Structure 1
Amino acid sequence: MSYDLVIRNGIVVDGTGARRYRADVAVADGKVADIGKVTEGARRTIDADGLVVAPGFVDPHTHYDAQICWDGAVTPSSWHGVTSVVMGNCGVGIAPCRPAAREIAMRDLVSVEGIPFDVLNKGITWDWETFPQFMDAAAARRPSLNLAFIAPLTPFRHYVMGEASMERAADAEETAKIAALIAEAVDVGALGFSSTTLNQHMGFEGKPLACRNASREELKAYANVLKARGKGAIEIALTRQVGVLEEDQCELLDFLLDESGRPVTFIALFDRDDIPEAVRNTLRLAAPMIAKGARPQTSPLPLTREVNMDNPFSFAAFPSWKRVFADTSKAAQKAVYADPAFRNQFREDLKNPTGFSNWGRVVVHAVRNPALKHLEDKSIAQIGQEQGKDGVDAFLDTVLADNLDCELTMASWNTREDRMRELLNNKAILMALGDGGAHVDMLCDSGYPTYLLGTWVREKEAITLEEGVRKLTSDPADLFGLKDRGRLAKGAPADIAIFDPARIGSNNHGERRYDLPGGAKRIVMPSRGVEYTLVNGAVTWEQGRLTEAKAGKVLRG
């Protein structure tokens, strides 16, 4: 027979963790038709000598719910060998949604996921109301990647309760209606449901995100939906402090596992050098729940964000900075930054763990004042050492000298190599938290698959190539019941990533683009070494460029 495509002489890493081997891979009718020595011809041949041929990567934690309305290529994930994305995480989303509640749904995304309102207002198409209609609308757009959906609890509660969902728990009748809607979503292919308990997850008008008001009786009803069907998973933003699991959160995690009988994956397990034993303590506390199917999520990346002093919310957790946010005019901010009393209060705040403790990880990215150009690419710690100042004075003096126009980057977590090796070699931990589509104007972590393979597999040899690919493919696919994805096997859909193991990688800080609706800014992460990506047999990425192929599907659990 003649195949659509043959990938010849590649290094096959099949996604299961099995040892690599050399083989040809034949593709026909969107599926893997053969693996081995392929002698038949094909319409197209790719020479993969020296390249790894692996299953396409599955990103289990994204917020592309809105972006798929204007970006069917789902960038930048599609640049990194990703062939399937899971969205609807952290309890926030845009379906189901009545027309009168659209602004509330958008404001929730602004507050929780840092997506500018104007971008959402210009870009969301609103060609749905119910969750099944939302999934159908996504499929009708013919995306470049496969799209999978978790049912986010906030819009489901709001659809039934209206604005009361932001104020209180549901009564028995409301709970039954919400549970029925979640059941409907799961029956048409949603991969489970998501929620959050985080205090910082505030939504419309600064009120708690609606899912945070769900009672235990509610959560029991929603978890029982999954138990009755024997499928699906729960995703929850659980840790009030990043990386720190507390006793009441352990109890909730255990409750959800028992009531659903399904896996529960929770965030966020970042290593913190300001609380050095946080991750180890969390894993110790979570061990009984992990044995039941709990999966903590981490990222292989240091969390690196842009810090813009026009909106310095990276420092909002410090009590001393309340003065800054009381009046955000430039003149008022400058007066506060120059005040010795504010600086002393800030120094006191820095003595307490808040996720920021090291001025060596705050770097001057760009300045406008030509006299300060020599400071670019230097850390605040370096500047302080050169100027004979502590970090607070070096930082605020630099900010003032550039009239608050300077831009900085901050690397907050996952910076200790020895602890990262522990996380990467723990099979209970899910590699995720790319957060694609969220926080678009300050960071981009959705390049984590290529970063993992370039930094931790090749450069640091912390894990094997086979294990790195498994973490990006069959592991997340299995968690969410996508059994036909994440493996390179005969008869499976031809979702394939072909990459150069000597070149694959990405940075941990992205580049600026102005390509959102209305020309708004976002940070994106380019990839290196991804030569080809196939989605359902169609080449969607070829040697550094997206193609016109639109072979993605909505994956239904």
Structure 2
Amino acid sequence: MSNQHDLVIRGGTVVDGTGAAPFVADVAVRDGVIVEIGSVDGKGREEIDATGLTVTPGFVDVHTHYDGQITWESQMAPSSDHGVTTVVMGNCGVGFAPVRAGDHHLMIKLMEGVEDIPEVVMAEGVPFNWSSFPEYLDALDKRQADVDFAAQIPHSPLRVYVMGKRGADLEPPTLEDLVAMRNCVSEAVRAGALGVASSRNLFHRFRSGALAPSVTTELDEVLALAEGLKDAGTGVFQCNPNLDNDAETEMAVFRAIAQQSGRPVTFSLIATPTRPENWDAYVAGIKQASADGLTIRGQFMPRPMGVLYGLDLSFNPFSLNPSFRPLAKLPLDEKVARMRDPELRARLLSEQPEDPNPAFVGLIKSITALYRMSRVADYNYAPQDSLQAQAERTGVTANELIYDALLEDDGRAILCSYSSDVQEYLGKTRDMIGQDNMIVALGDGGAHYGMICDAAYTTYMLTGRLEGEGLDLTTIIKSLTSQPAQSVGLQDRGVVGIGYKADLNIIDIANMELYRPQVTANLPAGGKRLSQKSKGYLATIVSGAITYRNGVSTGVLPGRLIRGVKSAPAAPAEAARQLA
């Protein structure tokens, strides 16, 4: 009976992802699947003592942008540094397929503007050895990674693929165009896409300021995509709402998509200071849709979205000022030396941001509170912690204090700006975590390399939200595992149960720490990106193989492309559980 199992995890406290009470048990794995839970007599080729530790399913992140990164590297960081074992990409209606040979550069420029990925990185890194979406999936089939990865077909590339320059120029589609888009969606989903993704968000633009092709499309085009899902008989429709509209208008669109397709709809639920009333209206709309027999889910961050500003990042509060332009591409040490010049300091403090892209100017002008990020990142800021509040107490202007703060740590300081009041946001999301049709997501891993690092939200849930508000561990783990997995049709994971995929985490929750993001220059063409590390993950396991030990990659790459939805094991997890 020796070496009966590939892996046995001994004596851990299992939080199984279903919301059930924790229990102490051994977990045995064979051929990438959980085969026994309870008191396991058989030995494993490898065994892990998890006494005093927590055993959970691997985390599932359904809102990422690894569409390019998966084509040039095998580690889907920062997500894979934080217990994530499955990612879904192709969100927000942007990506790299389908695409015709003459439109490669257009897709790169679109991703540069919408997702803050440097053009030079994508030009060197993305091979474009595909045209249609099924061909893109075939290319991904050859890739190996530290997590499993699934894709959705994005609306903007699809529009340009079908309509050419007319699609990029936001012209209305012909009937033939609509039929072609419908057929492409159906073809993509039948080939293994988990669904289709679009965006109505006016913030989604090329760096020049031109709108992304999907943003202003009329309802008939959106419903043509929905018809493609209906034809395929499966898949989800992901969409970003127009944040400038009232929630009732956007919910009407989502309801129409759900009715036309007969498929679930998921959208980005974002708190905005310009329309604070929308949040409650969206939540009410989700509940009403459920009562009416429609499945509409809101994806939300467990803390306010945080834009990061720094001298080595994409933006800082002075980066769009005219006098900063000559400094923008200088090495950090030279940039810091120049900014310490009193004359330049005075000039920068006197100027206003200027850019052809109004979204970028808005990003700077909308800053109302900035917070210093400490080595161990504490995202639950109080209003008095902001630099603006500190400036009021000390009698200097906020811009002066911000300027000097950017120069701290030899220019490596990172300042965080939140879209909402922290405590208010935590309060209104408290009861949403774990609720039906409310999905914790929006980490955006693989995108915003120089301005957002939210993919560590999984670790934040365990360090920043556990117990302090009465949130229990079982609810949090469910919100990171089975709930997001089921929302995209991946029923084979997200649960520690017999027959489920052996994607697991072994965590020392009591000693977890989440560290401040850091800038690294390890992208193609020497491009920079934010990375973020943590402490507390003793092991992360994908398909029964240990991918990370104590936060360090083992170099093992069991992650593969997921083609299409996956069914749950025949035996329900609760019935199959064997307690010691």
Same fold (TM over 0.5): yes
- Counterparts of 1:282-321 in structure 2, within 5 Å, are 282-291=282-291, 292-308=294-310
Residues 364 and 379 in structure 1, CA contact (< 8 A), matched pair in contact too: no
Deviation at 1:380?
A: 2.3
| Backbone CA RMSD of aligned residues | 3.3
Rounded to whole Å, the distance in 1 between the matches of 2:207 and 2:529 is 23
Rounded to whole Å, the distance in 2 between the matches of 1:21 and 1:207 is 54
Aligned letter for 1:147?
Answer: F
Question: What corresponds to 1:139 in structure 2?
Answer: 141
Q: Give the unaligned 5+ runs of structure 2.
A: 328-342, 354-361, 376-383, 565-580
Question: What corresponds to 2:258 in structure 1?
Answer: 257
Question: What corresponds to 2:420 in structure 1?
Answer: 413
Rounded to whole Å, the distance in 1 between the matches of 2:483 and 2:273 is 28
Cα distance, 1:189–1:512 mapped onto 2, change above 3 Å: same
Cα distance, 1:516–1:238 mapped onto 2, change above 3 Å: same
Question: What corresponds to 1:233 in structure 2?
Answer: 236
Sequence identity percentage: 33
| TM-superposition CA deviations, 1:141-166 (whole Å, max 9, x none) | 22221011111111111111112112
Cα distance, 1:31–1:52 mapped onto 2, change above 3 Å: same
Residues 170 and 215 in structure 1, CA contact (< 8 A), matched pair in contact too: no
Residues 248 and 282 in structure 2, CA contact (< 8 A), matched pair in contact too: no
Question: What corresponds to 1:348 in structure 2?
Answer: none
What is the aligned counterpart of 1:481 among 482, 486, 489? 489
Rounded to whole Å, the distance in 2 between the matches of 1:240 and 1:549 is 41
Aligned letter for 2:137?
Answer: M
Which has the higher mean CA deviation after the structures are superposed, 119-128 or 196-205?
Answer: 196-205
- Counterparts of 1:202-217 in structure 2, within 5 Å, are 202-203=205-206, 206-217=209-220
What is the aligned counterpart of 1:338 among 339, 346, 350? 350
Which has the higher mean CA deviation after the structures are superposed, 64-73 or 410-419?
Answer: 410-419
| TM-superposition CA deviations, 1:253-296 (whole Å, max 9, x none) | 211111112111111323x6786655224323444235421111
| TM-superposition CA deviations, 1:513-540 (whole Å, max 9, x none) | 2211122221112122111111111111
What is the aligned counterpart of 2:18 among 13, 16, 32? 16
Aligned letter for 1:4?
Answer: D
What is the aligned counterpart of 2:48 among 46, 50, 55? 46
Aligned letter for 1:438?
Answer: A
SS of the residue 1:469 aligns to = helix
Question: What corresponds to 2:181 in structure 1?
Answer: 178
Rounded to whole Å, the distance in 2 between the matches of 1:72 and 1:412 is 32
Question: What corresponds to 1:59 in structure 2?
Answer: 61
Deviation at 1:308?
A: 3.9
SS of the residue 2:260 aligns to = helix
Deviation at 1:425?
A: 5.7
Deviation at 1:48?
A: 0.9
- Counterparts of 1:432-451 in structure 2, within 5 Å, are 432-451=441-460
TM-score (norm. length: structure 1): 0.86
Residues 364 and 378 in structure 1, CA contact (< 8 A), matched pair in contact too: no
TM-score (norm. length: structure 2): 0.82
Question: What corresponds to 2:531 in structure 1?
Answer: 524
- Counterparts of 1:364-513 in structure 2, within 5 Å, are 379-391=386-398, 394-395=401-402, 408-413=415-420, 415-416=422-423, 417-424=426-433, 426-458=435-467, 460-507=468-515, 509-513=516-520
What is the aligned counterpart of 1:68 among 44, 66, 70? 70
Cα distance, 1:426–1:275 mapped onto 2, change above 3 Å: farther
Rounded to whole Å, the distance in 1 between the matches of 2:450 and 2:223 is 37
Residues 91 and 236 in structure 1, CA contact (< 8 A), matched pair in contact too: yes
Q: Give the unaligned 5+ runs of structure 1.
A: 344-351, 367-376
Matched, 1:196 2:199: yes
Cα distance, 1:45–1:310 mapped onto 2, change above 3 Å: closer
Rounded to whole Å, the distance in 1 between the matches of 2:311 and 2:462 is 34
Rounded to whole Å, the distance in 2 between the matches of 1:405 and 1:48 is 38
Rounded to whole Å, the distance in 2 between the matches of 1:246 and 1:69 is 37
Cα distance, 1:18–1:206 mapped onto 2, change above 3 Å: same
Cα distance, 1:28–1:295 mapped onto 2, change above 3 Å: same
Aligned letter for 1:55?
Answer: P
Residues 166 and 207 in structure 1, CA contact (< 8 A), matched pair in contact too: no
Aligned residue-pair number: 526
